[in-house]
Amino acid sequence: QKEVEQNSGPLSVPEGAIASLNCTYSDRVSQSFFWYRQYSGKSPELIMSIYSNGDKEDGRFTAQLNKASQYVSLLIRDSQPSDSATYLCAVDGASGGSNYKLTFGKGTLLTVNP
């Protein structure tokens, strides 16, 4: 059974600070990693995908992947109150025909204080 672990939070940061969200996964052969943002009462929205070790930047968001440590993180620079949401980490298990199913973590609640 593939597992994706996230700290449930809440993670509270002041406006303008860097928010760091972390995720670990159990399936060593996983190849694809995603971060979704979910506002309260709404559906998840894809914000980042990462497939290779290292960093991937998109605006204020940076995803970091370390396959050796089975660890993926999301950094949000210059955090804004509008970033307050639950962030879901999702991992694809690519071992022998996983049919591109994703396993989701339970999410980390981020609160950005003005």
Partner 1 sequence: DGGITQSPKYLFRKEGQNVTLSCEQNLNHDAMYWYRQDPGQGLRLIYYSQIVNDFQKGDIAEGYSVSREKKESFPLTVTSAQKNPTAFYLCASSIVNTDTQYFGPGTRLTVL
Q: Judged by CB, which is closer to partner 1: 34, or 110? A: 34
C-beta separation of 34 from 46 below 8 A: yes
Find the shortest distance in angstroms from Cβ 16 to partner 1.
29
Q: Judged by CB, which is closer to partner 1: 17, or 70? A: 70
From residue 22, how far is each of 53, 70, 77, 100 by CA, in Å?
15, 11, 15, 22
C-beta separation of 70 from 38 below 8 A: no
Q: Is the peptide bond before 81 cis (omega within 30 degrees of 0)?
A: no
Find the shortest distance in angstroms from Cβ 94 to partner 1.
8
Segment interacting with partner 1 (CB under 8 A) among 16-24, 37-45, 54-62, 70-78: 37-45
State the Cα–Cα distance between residues 48 and 83, nearest whole angstrom: 14
Q: Among residues 17, 20, 60, 104, which is the contact residue for partner 1, using CB under 8 A?
A: 104
Site of interaction with partner 1 (CB under 8 A): 4, 8, 32, 34, 36, 42-46, 49, 88, 90, 92, 99-102, 104-107
